[in-house]
Chain A
């Protein structure tokens, strides 16, 4: 039965509606479409329409395991969805506070497709249930609070007078989590200008507007306007799932941007048997598992004093490059969705899935496809004008990876590696340091990476058991698709006693304010998206 189906007996016209709903399923993907693609799932090919608007969605598709913060956000989204609605869990573990999954399948295209088929029958049968149960998660229960109209910081739970100005406090509805990480903003926190009351009837006769406005912040044009705090994410369709931006909007200009990541509160214990460290680390980031796997293997080998031979290094390079190409393509698809280029979003997603499924033999063909795609993007009208000067960052901002290379900084951990020298690797560097330059760097790297992967000839990651009984400290560095990641481990007798991971997105997250503030909303979002943050590796 569909959790949260509509009340009523399925008869007559309702049966027709139910049939229509079963055919026209719209999925809101959690944590995000990019994660689904990175795990090799083609949601639309499985017969689910995609939407970024909870109120237009009928299916909540959960891909992979979610950290607690994201599960809470997903519950808020689910509460906003219109009934009848259903949860489709693909390889997801614990879902609370969400209701249990109506259909749960594994993380493979075939399973997803037959799950969708099961979902259709469930909708056709149970869209209208006599005893339909509602769903209201705890954090959405509204409670009344009392605030001073002049001093927004004065908020208390019981009525009274404002300690600052003595005005009587105004009752208003406060929804816990409303201002918190959720999307849609129809609860207290995300109100427009009109969420703020004056004072009660005749409290103090005429009320001075000078009084009210003199404390308001001055916006860049010098007018004291009321600022709106709007949450973007962690499930915002235009941003990577798990990234939470709290934007303070002055009109449609971003006055302040405070980013945070709802990734794993703690990426599980990294300590434990050294030979299984790769597995554990690879589970951190669904967007670039191979990079972290390789990172762990190298760190352990370094600690154990056993270097990897030529063949192994070559194969690992191949795997890394394939993942880099796929990851960049995934970013491109999401970025195209953000800037409203629908054809590009679709094409990039197709290519990404093809790369993820490809064998070494298929790489040259994909490389040709990537080249033609890049050429077509360069020719796209209005695209350069849309991206020029957005999210501009000079070199030497502590950035790494494509963000740094787009600013003309020739930094790349791959330069120092023998395997890459053997493959004739040369880092891609572009000038400009804005969103357009980052796009160009990534396009060039997609092509180059596919070439390297083809040259490497093998795409699997051999993991020789080197660390049995080994002791010592070691470190390794890998150029992930997003930048340089470093891992320091200390082994004692084949056990990891301490592991310290430093990912690129943690550094890049600090740049969000610089690219977003004092920009128009759309430009700010484009700037943030062009950083290609991965919330999964940042949260600590």
Chain B
């Protein structure tokens, strides 16, 4: 068992554990922060898998993203502090079944397939450079599309969210 597998597994377990906490705690802020740390652990997995740029990016983006999620949680939940332990789930059994099934299926596929030999990772600096080349070369169109889509989404979301102008 290589050190890489060890670290990947460690952070993976952390990610899963925090992911479970998200749905088990009754305090909204806690679950938002649990999701944050779950995503951060995923970023750490990227680092363990030598995808340095992606890892750092993930860790950086999720901090802001999930904190913003936290404030919306507090706004839109009836019991943000989770002091009332009110039931906020439905179709629990079916959901558990579906989740377990999906996990087993994916894991099964992963385990039964023969992936062939593992390749060696390029150095981090080269990765960043090549990723940039990819982004501004072959995948330029995807990149641009993503950018434009984000802009559209920002405008659309704002337009939907703001208060309707009073007729006067």
Contact = CB atoms under 8 A, between A and B. Distances in A.
B79 A205 contact: no
Interface stretch (A33-41, A196-204, A279-287): A196-204
Interface string A138-173: 000000000001000000000000000000001010
Contacts of B27: 194
Given A221-B163, A222-B163, A197 B84 contact: yes
Interface in A184-217: 192-202, 205-207, 209, 212-213
> Chain A CB within 10 Å — which of B75, B79, B82, B86 has the most?
B86
B126 interface: no
Interface string B135-168: 0000000000000000000000000000100000
Interface residues of A, number: 24
Interface string B68-96: 00000011001111111111001000000
Nearest to A192: B81
A181 to B, nearest CB: 25
Q: How large is the interface on B (under 10, 10 to 19, 20 to 34, 35 or more residues)?
A: 10 to 19
> Chain B CB within 10 Å — which of A194, A197, A201, A209 has the most?
A194
Contacts of A221: 163
A193 B81 contact: yes
A369 B47 CA distance: 62
A354 interface: no
A223 interface: yes
B84 A198 contact: yes
Interface string A113-150: 00000000000000000000000000000000000010
A199 B84 contact: yes
A194 B81 contact: yes
Interface in B1-48: 27
Interface in A457-488: none
Contact of A201 (B74, B79, B80, B85): B85
Closest 4 CB pairs of A and B: A194-B81, A198-B84, A198-B86, A197-B84
Interface of A: 149, 170, 172, 192-202, 205-207, 209, 212-213, 221-223, 225
Given A194-B82, A221-B163, 15 more contacts: A172-B83, A193-B81, A194-B80, A195-B83, A196-B81, A196-B83, A196-B84, A197-B83, A198-B83, A198-B85, A199-B84, A201-B85, A205-B87, A207-B86, A207-B87
5 contacts: A193-B80, A198-B85, A201-B85, A207-B86, A222-B163
